[in-house]
Structure 1
Amino acid sequence: MCTVSLFFKGDSTLVTSTRDEHRKRRRAASPEWHDYQGTELYFPKDPQGGGSWIAFNRVGQWGVVLNGAFVNHRHTGPYRKSRGLILLDILSSMRPAAFWKELNLENIEPFTLILGDQGAYEMRWDGQEKHAKELNKEEAHIWSSATLYSQEVQAWRKERFDSFLQTHSNPPSDQVFSFHATPQGDSENGLVIDRANGVKTVSVTQVLLESNQGEMRYEDLMQPESQLSV
């Protein structure tokens, strides 16, 4: 749940997420349709928390979660519910963006949510209050998890993203996927990490939404295999 990019191309939306976790964490299950509280959601399931970091529903609403809000926080668990389940709660509601406003996040660990529901939104919970803003669809966006990357490193990664855009002004989905999945010579802070403490990039997930229909490409970097599903 640690690096996310977002592109808008006409009526289509492209969201790509690289997930950084400890190498000993159980591998996520490959993406498939799940019935969650009466709503069909498509996502790779985290067996540890039971939720997911990225998902979409049958009407083209989608969301992706990153750990942390604005800055790295001190873990004070146990928490009431996993952030991956909060994502599924939001996407199983009839109006996800409106549901965010009434959602009780007391005793939930801080997170950032990028949400697609008619418009696109950046939503953050800092442990005390909610923050939300609508995103400009004329721009490409990138986020890095505040729990793993300092503000200086986040700025450096944004520079790398901007450099990529200078040479790929309208990149197709496979080029964006490759940008996320290619090591850049920095195992601590690159787009693909492999840190001495055991935290590494374990997967890349990409969702393409067109005419409210989604398809997902998922690559497990611990056991490389790709899936393309509708």
Structure 2
Amino acid sequence: MCTVTFLPTSNTNFIFTSNRDETPLRKTLPPKVYHENGVAIRYPKDELAGGTWIGTSEKNRIVCVLNGGYQSHERQPPYKLSRGVIVKNVLSAIDVLAYIKSFDFTNIEPFTLLVLEWNTINLNFMQFVWTGKNLDIKELPNKPQIWSSSNLYNPKMKKERENWFNEWLEKTHELTQEKVLAFHSNENLGTKATSIKMKRPFIETVSITSIQKGQDKVTMDYVDFLKTKKS
């Protein structure tokens, strides 16, 4: 939910990976297929709120959310809806843009929402940022990118992480999911509080979800660091 990378391997194929930086006390269920609004979607479930931070849909769609918009914010609960529930709604929506433009985000905590959709010849990548007051919509290029949650990483930390990402890219000649997972598991960059796999007194990287789209299939790898296993 808090560190995301996108790595295209062709015009329509890619590896999309998200680290969840969260309190280890918050329980999560491993990915499985659920049916929401008649649509099959696969996601790891936040047991507390019933939502998710990342998932795939039979509509050839990936949706992922990060905490916060462009900058850190003070939480002002209660909020009318969990951002993780919004992820599920977008995964099953008939038309993503129409759904988001018609939704009233008033009293929803700020977020950054990434949405990938594809067919046999095209990849459509969109970013939606809700600041708490305004909704910004942006089309993203099909190139390597990294995001870090504004509520955990200040601009200096974000830049440092971008540099690590770019340095790793320069050294990595053939992108594989194994190499991407290794990068997302690195806890020795910078400090423990800022490394890609991070750890602070009350929050840490608890899991990695990595989605790979190949020519014929889409796979989801899930690494649960609290249970130290991959599914």
TM class, shorter-length: over 0.9
1:122 aligned onto 2:92: no
Query: 2:113 and 2:228 mapped to 1: Cα distance?
Result: 27
Describe the shift of the 1:183–1:19 C-alpha distance in structure 2 as closer, same or farther (beyond 3 A): same
* Count of matched residue pairs: 224
Please give the alpha-carbon distance, in whole angstroms, between the structure 2 residues aligned to 1:132 and 1:68: 15
**1:66-108 deviations in Å (ceiling 9; x for gaps):** 0000000010011001000001111111122332222221111
In the alignment, does 2:5 pair up with 1:5?
Answer: yes
The runs of 5 or more residues in structure 1 that have no matched partner are none
**Bigger shift: 55-64 or 212-221?**
212-221
Alignment correspondent of 1:135:
140
Q: Which position in structure 1 is the counterpart of 2:106?
A: 106
Aligned counterparts of 2:105 and 2:82: Cα–Cα separation in 1 = 11
2:17 maps to a residue whose letter is T
2:188 & 2:102 partners in 1: Cα distance?
41
Write out per-residue CA displacement over residues 113-168 of structure 1, whole angstroms, 9 at most, x where no aligned residue: 1101240011110011111111111x200000001000110011000001001101
Cα offsets for 1:12-45 (capped at 9, x unmatched): 121000000112222x111000011221110001
**In structure 2, what is the equivalent of residue 190 of structure 1?**
195
| Residues 1:161 and 2:165 aligned together | yes
Which letter maps to 1:73?
A: H
Gaps of 5+ in 2: 119-123
Aligned to 1:23: 24
SS in 2 for 1:16: strand
- The one of 216, 221, 224 equivalent to 2:220 is 216
8 Å CA contact 2:112–2:129 kept in 1: the answer is yes
Deviation, 1:210, is 3.2
What is the root-mean-square deviation in Å for CA atoms of aligned residues? 1.3
**TM-aligned CA deviation for residue 212 of structure 1:** 7.7
Could you say what secondary structure the match of 1:99 adopts? helix
- 1:38 partnered with 2:31: no
Secondary structure at 1:121 match in 2: strand
Which stretch has the larger CA shift, 56-65 or 90-99? 90-99
Distance in 1 (alpha carbons) for counterparts of 2:216 and 2:13: 9
What amino acid is the match of 2:37?
A: Q
TM-aligned CA deviation for residue 187 of structure 1: 1.0
Matched letter for residue 122 of structure 1: Q
Counterpart in the other structure of 2:121? none
- CA distance, structure 2, for counterparts of residue 103 and residue 62 of structure 1: 19
Distance 1:78 1:59 in 2: 32
Q: What amino acid does structure 2 have at the position aligned with 1:64?
A: C
Aligned partners of 2:164, 2:32: CA distance in 1, in Å? 32
| C-alpha deviation, 1:59, in angstroms | 2.7
TM-score where L is the length of structure 1: 0.93
Other structure's SS at 1:63 match: strand
For residues 228 and 43 of structure 2, the distance between their equivalents in structure 1, rounded to whole angstroms, comes to 18
Which of the residues 146, 150, 154 maps onto 2:154?
150
The aligned residue for residue 178 of structure 2 is 174
Task: Return the offset for 1:181.
Answer: 1.1
Partner of 1:226: 230
